Structure 1
Amino acid sequence: MVERTATVRCVPAVPCWVGLTARDLTTAQGFYGPLLGWEFVPGPDRWGPYLRAVVDGVEVAGLSELGADWERPVAWTTYFGIESADRAADGVRERGGTLAVGPLSFDAGRVALAADPFGATFGIWEGEPADARPGDAPWTAEPGAPAWIELRTADPFAAALFYGEVFRWDDRDPGRFEVRYEHERVVLRSEDRSVAALRAAKDLAPHWEVFFSVPDTDAAARRATALGGRVLDGPADSPYGRVARLADAEGGHFSVLGP
C-alpha cells in the first residue's frame, strides 16, 4: 500500500496540477511507473477510473481513462490554481477563450476545462482551501514530479495577456508571484522559483507542455523507448536543464528535464 504524506496544494495564478487522459490506465501505469518512479493510488471515480501518481508520499499527477466513445487524443492537461473557478471561467469566455467542461465540484474543490483563444487547452482548479499558505510552491522538487510547465504558442505575449487577465496576475503579491522575461520566454515565478513559461513556437499546435524532473535525461529517453514510447526531440541542453521531448506508449506527449 502506498503511504501518502502530502498532496500538491492549489497555488493561485500558476500551474499546480497536471492530469493525463489515457486510453488504458494499465498501459499508462506500465509506462510512467518505471520511467518516473511513480506509485499509484485510487482517486475519485465519479467520472470514471482515476488514479493519482505518488512520489515519496506526495501526489504529483492524476491519470484518468478516456471513454470508449471519446475521440480526444491521449494528452496531458495543465491546471492553474485560482480562488474562484466560476470567476475564472467567466473570464475565459469574456476574453475569447472556450469553456469545454465545468466548473464542476469534486473531492478537492472545483475544476473546469478550457481552451485559450489560440487553441491551447488548460484546466482551472479552485482548491480547498483556495488560499495557499506562505511558502507553498506548486511542485515538489523530487525526481518524477512536474518541474516545469511551458506554453508553446505563436504569440506568447498575446497569450500572456489572456492568462494574466483570467488569473489576475497584476493583482498578486509581488513578494510571492512575479512575471518576468528571460531566455526569450515570459516566465512565471512563485515563491522565488521559476515554475512556468510562455514561449514562441510556430512549428507546433498551441499547447501546454509538461516537464517531469529526472536525474538523467539521456537515460530517461532510452528508458522511454524501451517501455514502448518514442523520443520526439532531444536530448538537448536548455537554459533550465537538459531536455528531451517524448511520447508515451499511447502517443501522449510530454518532456523530461534533468539537471
Structure 2
Amino acid sequence: MSAHGPVTAVRGAPCWVSLMAHDLEGAQEFYTAVLGWRFRAGGLGEEFSIALSDGQPVASIGALAQSFQVAVAWTSYFAVDNADDTAGRIRERGATVAVGPLKIGPGRAALAADPDGATFGFWEGQTLAWSIGQGNAPVGLELRTRDAFAAAIFYAEVFDWASGEPGGCDVTYEHDQVIVSDATHTVATLRGGAVESAPDPRVRPLWHVHFPVRDIEKVAATAVAAGGTVTPVTPTADGEGCQAVVRDPDGGLFTVTST
C-alpha cells in the first residue's frame, strides 16, 4: 500500500481496519511484539495511532473512553458515497446503526451491526491507497456467519455490490462461499452454511481480519507470552497456508495467516 493519498476508494470495498482498545499503550506493546508493528500519531489526537508495517500504514488503534461500554474489537470499514444513505439502508433492513454517522477528520464514519450481529463500519470520504490483499494491508477479510447467502444479500443491498454500476464491487458464489472483488482482486469473503442448509446457531457472526505472518508458530508463541490466547493452528480454506485466531489481552480477536 502506498502511503501517498488521499484517493477515492472503490465503492462498497473495505477501506480500512481499526481496533478500539481500552488500553492503548498495552495494545501497542502487544502488536509490536506479535506482528512487529511500529506506531505514529494518527492526526486525531493522542488517543489514536496508526500502525506501520515496513514503514507503511496497515491499520489503526484508538482508545475507548472508559465510559464507553462496548467490546474491544477489530472493525472493518467499507467505503460509501453517502453515509446517511447507507445508514438508512441498514435500518430499513432490520439491522442496527450503533454510532454515527459522525464527522471524523476528513470524512464521516459510523459503526453498525448486520442482522446476525456482526459489527462493521462505513466511511464517507477519501482514504489512503489501501486495499485488502495488496501491499501492507491485511491479507484477507472474512465474514464467518450462519448463512453466507443471506448475509451477501444484506451487504449487497447496503453497499451496492453487484449493482452493475461502474466503480463498485462484484460478487460471485463459489463452493458455499461468497467472493467479493473490485475490478482487480478479491477484497472480502463471506463463509457460512450451504444454500440449502439451515443456519448454524453455533456460529457467532464476526468479520475476521487476517494479518500476514511468515512464521505462524513463532507468532502464536509470542502472542501467548505477551498475554494473549491462540487457537490451534489449522490449514486455511484453500489449503495453501495455515491460520490461527488470536485474542489480544484486551479481548480483540484477529486472525494470523501464514504467507
**TM-score, length of structure 1 as denominator length:** 0.86
8 Å CA contact 2:143–2:189 kept in 1: the answer is yes
- Aligned equivalent of 1:79: 77
The count of corresponding residues between Structure 1 and Structure 2 is 249
Q: Deviations over 1:36-60 (max 9, x none)?
A: 22111112446x7111112233222
Q: Distance in 2 between matches of 1:174 and 1:192?
A: 13
Q: Secondary structure at the match of 2:231?
A: strand
After superposition, where does 1:1-259 map in structure 2 within 5 Å?
A: 5-6=3-4, 10-45=9-44, 49-128=47-126, 138-139=131-132, 141-142=134-135, 145-172=137-164, 177-200=169-192, 202=200, 203-239=202-238, 241-259=241-259
Q: Distance in 2 between matches of 1:174 and 1:188?
A: 15
8 Å CA contact 1:7–1:59 kept in 2: the answer is no
8 Å CA contact 2:14–2:132 kept in 1: the answer is no
Q: Which amino acid aligns with 1:121?
A: T
8 Å CA contact 1:176–1:192 kept in 2: the answer is no
8 Å CA contact 1:8–1:58 kept in 2: the answer is no
Q: Distance in 2 between matches of 1:172 and 1:42?
A: 39
Deviation at 1:176, TM superposition (A): 6.8
Q: Distance in 1 between matches of 2:38 and 2:5?
A: 14
Q: Secondary structure at the match of 2:157?
A: helix
Q: Distance in 2 between matches of 1:8 and 1:233?
A: 39
Q: Which amino acid aligns with 1:59?
A: P
Q: Which amino acid aligns with 2:250?
A: E
8 Å CA contact 2:141–2:210 kept in 1: the answer is yes
Deviation at 1:175, TM superposition (A): 8.8
Q: Distance in 2 between matches of 1:82 and 1:224?
A: 35
Deviation at 1:17, TM superposition (A): 0.7
| CA pair 102-176 structure 1, distance change in 2 beyond 3 A | closer
Deviation at 1:182, TM superposition (A): 2.5
Deviation at 1:7, TM superposition (A): 6.1
What are the ranges of 5 or more consecutive residues in structure 1 without an aligned counterpart? Answer: none
**Percent identity of paired positions between Structure 1 and Structure 2:** 43
Q: Distance in 2 between matches of 1:110 and 1:169?
A: 21
Q: Distance in 2 between matches of 1:73 and 1:175?
A: 34
What are the ranges of 5 or more consecutive residues in structure 2 without an aligned counterpart? Answer: 194-199
Deviation at 1:8, TM superposition (A): 8.4
8 Å CA contact 1:12–1:83 kept in 2: the answer is yes
| CA pair 99-77 structure 1, distance change in 2 beyond 3 A | same
Deviation at 1:173, TM superposition (A): 5.1
Q: Deviations over 1:84-135 (max 9, x none)?
A: 1111111111111111111111223111111111111110111227xx9xxx
Deviation at 1:248, TM superposition (A): 0.9
Q: Distance in 1 between matches of 2:117 and 2:173?
A: 23
Q: Which amino acid aligns with 1:78?
A: S
Q: Secondary structure at the match of 1:146?
A: coil
| CA pair 91-233 structure 1, distance change in 2 beyond 3 A | farther
| CA pair 167-56 structure 1, distance change in 2 beyond 3 A | same
Q: Secondary structure at the match of 1:81?
A: strand
